[in-house]
């Protein structure tokens, strides 16, 4: 659905758990405990359809754990959630993907000893040739195999990986592996793509390319939910931002609104900014300011595994 035809978010209350027009994903009472620690305690959250929503919060806020629960990679202690009106609690990860909700990981999951093309082909679900008896009769699956291969070629060209199709995935750079994982996720033609820190470990030279691909998902009518610490990226591409702190949703709104919210600044800093220390402090703090002040974050952070010059 083109962005201009989507319901407006202007009238959505700026509060945790705010109701959205036509949400694609709705979660209620989702709780995950590890021993005595409650890692996730989300009372209610809705993800707007056809939009790019950022899920932000300090380290340990429960963002990735929440991702794992929603996509079937972990099981909650309590709670329910629906995707496109279908209940997903207890549904295995591979079945969640078949229903149209796919994800990428902070640490890429490419199979290093397979080629880039083979990695892409593995992303297609429901392949007839996977059936033992059908595999013995090529006529039953050869047509589908051609369609799947054509889809993979199309996506590799779109993500500018077509020249690498026959290279081993392990030979790709960190940024190229991120592109491969995103391209592979699209093999199932999903309704919603969930990206866990898509910019982590990416060389700055590939950052704009990745941003463009994420925006293109929205233009193609897909919903995007992503976890990210890069506040410049969040501000650049997000339609809506949901903030988690200590496992719960603490704020929602547009990027600029959320980044100036005292509750969000508290979550990142762990203390109130009252602006009384100096004249310079009279300017309101934002989350982008606090992120830039932390070592190893912000636009000048070195990619994972690399030293800053």
* Concatenated DSSP letters of 76-91: -SEEEEEETTEE-TT-
Give me the pLDDT at residue 109, please: 74
Can you list the domains of the chain with their CATH numbers?
A: 3-110+191-293 (3.40.50.300), 113-171 (no CATH)
d(CA 252, CA 161): 36
Give me the pLDDT at residue 301, please: 39
Give me the pLDDT at residue 230, please: 85
Q: Which residues of the chain have pLDDT under 70?
A: 1-4, 125-144, 269-309
d(CA 57, CA 268): 7
Give me the pLDDT at residue 289, please: 56
| 52 dihedral zone (left: phi>0; alpha: psi -120 to 50; beta) | beta
Give me the pLDDT at residue 147, please: 84
What are the tokens at 92? 């295995």
Contact 195, 223 (CB under 8 A): no
d(CA 6, CA 13): 17
Dihedrals phi, psi of 282, to nearest 5 degrees: -65, -25
This prediction's pTM: 0.80
Give me the pLDDT at residue 272, please: 40
Distances (CA, A) of 170 to 150, 174, 179, 185, 265: 23, 10, 13, 18, 39
What are the tokens at 219? 């233009």
Per-residue DSSP letter, 115: B
Pairing between strand 23-34 and 192-196?
A: unpaired
d(CA 90, CA 30): 12
Catalytic residue among 46, 197, 228, 252: 197
Whether 197 sits among the annotated catalytic residues: the reply is yes
Give me the pLDDT at residue 5, please: 80
Give me the pLDDT at residue 160, please: 92
Give me the pLDDT at residue 6, please: 86
């Amino acid at each position: 659905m083109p962005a201009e035809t989507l319901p407006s978010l202007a009238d959505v209350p700026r509060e945790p758990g705010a109701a959205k027009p036509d949400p694609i994903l709705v979660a209620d009472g989702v709780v995950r405990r590890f021993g005595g620690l409650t890692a996730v305690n989300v009372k209610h959250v809705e993800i707007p359809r056809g939009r790019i929503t950022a899920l932000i919060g300090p380290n340990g806020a429960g963002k990735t754990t929440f991702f794992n629960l929603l996509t079937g990679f972990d099981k909650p202690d309590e709670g329910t959630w629906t995707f496109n009106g279908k209940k997903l609690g207890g549904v295995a990860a591979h079945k969640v993907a078949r229903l149209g909700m796919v994800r990428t990981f902070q640490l890429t999951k490419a199979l290093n000893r397979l080629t880039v093309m083979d990695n892409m082909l593995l992303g297609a679900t429901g392949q007839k040739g996977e059936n033992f008896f059908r595999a013995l009769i090529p006529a039953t699956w050869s047509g589908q195999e051609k369609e799947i291969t054509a889809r993979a070629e199309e996506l590799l060209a779109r993500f500018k990986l077509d020249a690498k199709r026959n290279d081993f995935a392990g030979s790709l750079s960190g940024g190229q592996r991120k592109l491969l994982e995103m391209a592979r996720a699209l093999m199932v033609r999903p309704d919603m793509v969930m990206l866990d820190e898509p910019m982590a470990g990416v060389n700055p030279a590939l950052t704009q390319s990745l941003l463009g691909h994420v925006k293109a998902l929205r233009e193609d009518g897909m919903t995007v939910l992503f976890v990210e610490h890069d506040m410049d990226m969040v501000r650049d591409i997000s339609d809506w931002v949901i903030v988690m702190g200590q496992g719960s949703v603490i704020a929602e709104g547009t990027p600029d609104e959320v980044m100036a919210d005292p509750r969000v600044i508290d979550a990142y800093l762990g203390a109130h900014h009252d602006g009384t220390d100096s004249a310079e402090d009279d300017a309101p703090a934002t989350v982008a300011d606090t992120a830039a002040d932390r070592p190893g974050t912000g636009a000048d952070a070195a990619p994972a595994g690399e030293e800053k010059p």
